[in-house]
Amino acid sequence: MENKINFFVRYSETDQMSFVYHGNYVKYFEMGRIDWLNKLGFSYKKMEEDGILLPVIDLKINFKKSALFDDKLSLTTKLVKTPSYMIEFDYKIFRDEQLITTGYTKLIFLNAKTNKPMRCPSSIIEAIKKV
């Protein structure tokens, strides 16, 4: 399943040279994941309230071109494979249909009470199968 969002680079996300500060790409990927889950019918907030945490355990970013203040960007978020204890996403950021950044994250499902890994909720797996 793939999801796409569009957004503009805010001034506060840039450095002194007007380039997007590299740490903000992690926030962009988070925006993509949260929207991906919402489109699937799941709320990140509700999952946390239900005792499910999703910390990032692996992150990769490949910068091809710089994004600048006020650029309109498109972010695609794609599930890599059916989740088990972990869920993996690939990301692509485009400006004017030109690929400028790629990325990857791996998150682990954790039980908030025990802080131990847990399986992906079956409701999420079932929703993925329907897409």
Catalytic residue, chosen from 15, 50, 58, 70, is 15
Residues 6 or more apart from 75 whose CB is under 8 A from it? 4, 5, 6, 7, 28, 29, 31, 32, 91, 92, 93, 94
15 given a catalytic annotation? yes
Q: What is the set of active-site residues?
A: 15
